[in-house]
Structure 1
Amino acid sequence: MLKKIQAGVLEVAYFEDGPPAGPPVVLLHGFPYDVHAYDQVRPLLASKSCRVITPYLRGYGPTQFFSASTPRSGQQAALAHDLLALLDALGISSAVLAGYDWGGRAACIVAALWPDRVHALVSVGGYNIQDIPGAAAPVRPEDEYRYWYQYYFHSERGREGLARYRREFCRLLWRLWSPTWKFSDESFDRTAVSFDNPDFVDVVIHSYRHRYGLVPGDPEVEATEQRLTLQPLISVPSIAIDGRDDGVALSGGSADHHRFFTGEYERLVIPDVGHNPPQEAPQDFAEAILSLI
């Protein structure tokens, strides 16, 4: 059943599964996806007596800002503060955090800066904290082309393109990022409703401009953003997951990310899987989480 709760600057819409007293697990989606990425993971975890929380991120689905004056920021620090506020609102002192893309980034930041709130971490792509001061440095050409959509969003043409063709655009990214995943029209349409959120375009565009230092962030989270410039290490038990056929990950995925983790660490590479492992390989994703509980 869908629930809503006041958490920081948001009214967060989320699904809750499993017994309330079970070990808490928070499942965090990315762009351009939503909570339905975890439709098969949630029951697997609930069947093992986990308390499973699956929220819509800011700018997606029924999650809404309380105030029109709150910046529609998509920056990494804002996502992390949203996650902290949700844990506080739900009375969760510590949880297993699991996510990918934007959701994995929020999980990594909370694990790095507030490790007492994180029992363990499962992060697709490994260390997902952005190095914004270093973002202007070019990467190898075979990797640059994977980020074409980000550079597109830096222009007003890109903003208008996303606003006008949000479903077509996001469906294209699904295909490019997960070339081996034969998702159905029904599966995409179930998620695409989330892109109708009135703040979706603003949050997305801000995210992809801020990460390159092109626009200012929300002053309320600037102190956290400054801490992230140091690329803080993650000390909690962690599993990094890579889809071997991820069409947007840089060459090698998280192969060299062990240097960012000081605690127990494992890397899992799943064959025939792209950018969205929880939806493409739900059993593997759920088993990774359960191994940390």
Structure 2
Amino acid sequence: MASGAERIQVRAGVLDVTLERSGSRDGRPVVLLHGFPYDARCYDEVARLLAAEGADVVVPYLRGYGETRFTQASTPRSGQQAALAHDLLALIDVLGLESPLVAGYDWGGRAACVVSALWPRRVGGLVTATGYNIQDIAASSTPRRPELERRLWYQYYLHGERGVRGLAAYRSEFARQLWREWSPTWGFSETAFAASARSFDNPDFVDVVVHSYRHRYGLVAGDPAYEPTEAALALQPPITVPTVVLDGEHDTVQPPKPRAAYEPHFPALVAHRVLNAGHNAPQEAPADFARAITDLWAAL
């Protein structure tokens, strides 16, 4: 946990969200959102740097991670993009955050992108690693070149029941394999990995993850509560809030693209930067990730 951070739990929507909050409650609010298969530990240094700048830093554990829990047994354990976005909206509401900057990568970047696209007045700006993270589910059945498809083996593995049993039995090994593949230049320690791996013991982790990687291909239905949001996302809306896009130079899942590839999605693109990092940009390049956030708020 970042130095000086307070760990708290709040009721937000369908979740009791565990989060870590640091910095000044009177400062610029910033919400930092982790991806799969990582957790809040990826933001320890980023949070410390932002808190030192006077920000009000909030780092939640997403649904299915850490000590975050569903409030009702009957709530579908959905991992769809709309669910993650509504979780973020509920958290912003319950904490009373006014126009926070939202930043994330992977699943967290998806939540931040969806909220920024559909509810732009609720956020002050966006920092997104790997760019436009809103899924185009209608196009997901179109095959891609084999060298691209092989990167997604873990997704296809989870489409079958053998993969579900494999994830349940080997949560840590599954995550460690992806950390190594996605960030080949990052020499993370076993201590650092173990600090995040305990979050995968969440009782809903497997169900939420499996649903995420099936829903994005249209293989399973989503939570009916989020149907209107998914319909809006199917239109692939632009993100009009001021945005900084970050790419990891060594990211093997989503390699860097030129700025021109992002401009159609981000009419208010402030900057595009390529970091010396793989997929887990905030933990691999925390100073650069934090600087992207402080540069964005300075530009607003």
Q: Could you say which TM-score interval applies, normalised by the shorter chain?
A: over 0.9
What is the distance in 2 between the residues matched to 1:78 and 1:48? 32
What is the distance in 1 between the residues matched to 2:224 and 2:292? 36
What is the distance in 2 between the residues matched to 1:92 and 1:184? 35
The 8 Å contact of residues 56 and 63 in structure 1, kept in 2 or not, is answered as yes
Q: In the alignment, what sits opposite 1:19?
A: 24
1:37 aligns with 2:35: no
Unaligned runs of 5+ in 2: 1-5
What is the distance in 2 between the residues matched to 1:186 and 1:149? 24
The 8 Å contact of residues 125 and 253 in structure 1, kept in 2 or not, is answered as no
1:157 aligns with 2:174: no
> Identity across aligned pairs (percent)?
60
Q: In the alignment, what sits opposite 2:200?
A: 195
Equivalenced residues, count = 292
SS at the partner of 1:59? coil
For the structure 1 residues 165 and 191, does the alpha-carbon distance in structure 2 shift closer, same or farther, using more than 3 Å as the test?
same
Structure 1 segment 111-150 matched on structure 2, within 5 A: 111-150=116-155
Q: In the alignment, what sits opposite 2:275?
A: 270
Q: CA deviation at 1:270?
A: 1.1
Q: CA deviation at 1:93?
A: 2.7
TM-score by length of 1: 0.98
SS at the partner of 1:292? helix
Q: Equivalent of 1:183, from 176, 185, 188?
A: 188
Structure 1 segment 1-293 matched on structure 2, within 5 A: 1-249=6-254, 252=257, 256-271=261-276, 273-293=277-297
For the structure 1 residues 144 and 252, does the alpha-carbon distance in structure 2 shift closer, same or farther, using more than 3 Å as the test?
farther
- State the superposition RMSD in angstroms: 1.1
Q: Which moved more, 1:155-164 or 1:252-261?
A: 252-261
**Aligned amino acid, residue 127 of structure 1:** Y
Q: CA deviation at 1:254?
A: 7.0
TM-score by length of 2: 0.96
**Aligned amino acid, residue 96 of structure 1:** L
What is the distance in 2 between the residues matched to 1:178 and 1:258? 26
Q: Which moved more, 1:260-269 or 1:82-91?
A: 260-269
Q: CA deviation at 1:252?
A: 3.6
Unaligned runs of 5+ in 1: none
The 8 Å contact of residues 143 and 251 in structure 1, kept in 2 or not, is answered as no
**Aligned amino acid, residue 143 of structure 1:** L
